[in-house]
Amino acid sequence: MDNDIERILYSRDDIAKAAKRLGKQLTNDFQDKRPIIISVLKGAILFTVDVIKEMDVYAEIDFIDVASYHGGTQSSGEIDLVRDIGSDIAGRNILIIEDIIDTGRTLKYLIDLLKSRNAAEIKVCTLLDKEEGRLIDVKADYVGFSVPNEFVVGYGLDYQELYRNLPYVGVLKPSVYTN
């Protein structure tokens, strides 16, 4: 897999440090809130595991599976709800964990969904924020890294469902997706 990567943007170590830093902030901010942490499958799997270990708070963990890229490099613009959460979120403090916010469509969809179910508060933590990609005005409250406008994979992020298990985030060689 390493051969398909043009350059590493965030190393294993960079990510571990970011998870620690965010975990401290989240511990402070969610101390007395008993949040429901909602991890957005599949991309957020690795980041969720690392960041929640750095959070010293009573928290419930749930998962929602939504997809719009279908493995490609461009958002289809349509969000599929593949698997819903199991929790009743009415009146609860929610922390969404994402791997990346790009166009903002996925996050907007999630926020609208959770609001319609009367969540008390919705905060967002993302490993990567690609601000240049934004088509919808949504913001994350906690950001690991601001990422340049390139197609990145690894550490949860896929190209055609592959590369999620790379321990770092990197830029894919264009030859991988142009052939």
* Residue placing its CB nearer to ligand PRP in the complex, 4 or 33: 4
Strand partners, 121: 93
Among residue numbers 68 through 87, which ones bind ligand PRP (CB under 6 A)? 68-69, 75
Q: Is 2 a catalytic residue?
A: no
Strand partners, 153: 170
Q: Which residue has the tokens 């493995």?
A: 71
Active-site entry in 50, 99, 102, 158: 102
Closest CA to 95 of 33, 156, 155: 33
Nearest distance from C-beta of residue 159 to ligand PRP, angstroms = 9
Using the contact rule CB under 5 A, the part of the chain among 25-33, 48-56, 63-71, 89-97 near Mg ion is 63-71
Task: Provide CB contacts within 8 A for 177, sequence distance 6+.
Answer: 73, 151, 159
User: How many Cβ atoms sit within 10 Å of the Cβ of residue 64?
Assistant: 20
Please report whether residue 106 would count as binding ligand PRP according to CB under 6 A: yes
End-to-end CA distance of the chain: 16
Q: Is 178 exposed, middle or buried (0-12, 13-18, 19+ CB in 10 A)?
A: exposed
Please report whether residue 156 would count as binding Mn ion according to CB under 5 A: no
Encoded amino acid at 99, one letter:
D
Binding mask 145-174 for ligand PRP (x = CB under 6 A): -------------x----------------
Please report whether residue 158 would count as binding Mg ion according to CB under 5 A: yes
Which of Mg ion, ligand PRP, Mn ion, none has residue 101 at its interface (CB below 5 to 8 Å by kind)?
A: ligand PRP
* Residue placing its CB nearer to ligand PRP in the complex, 57 or 66: 66
Cα 96 from Cα 62, distance rounded (Å) = 10
Applying CB under 6 A, the residues found at the interface with ligand PRP are 40-43, 67-69, 75, 98-107, 158
Q: Which residues are catalytic?
A: 102
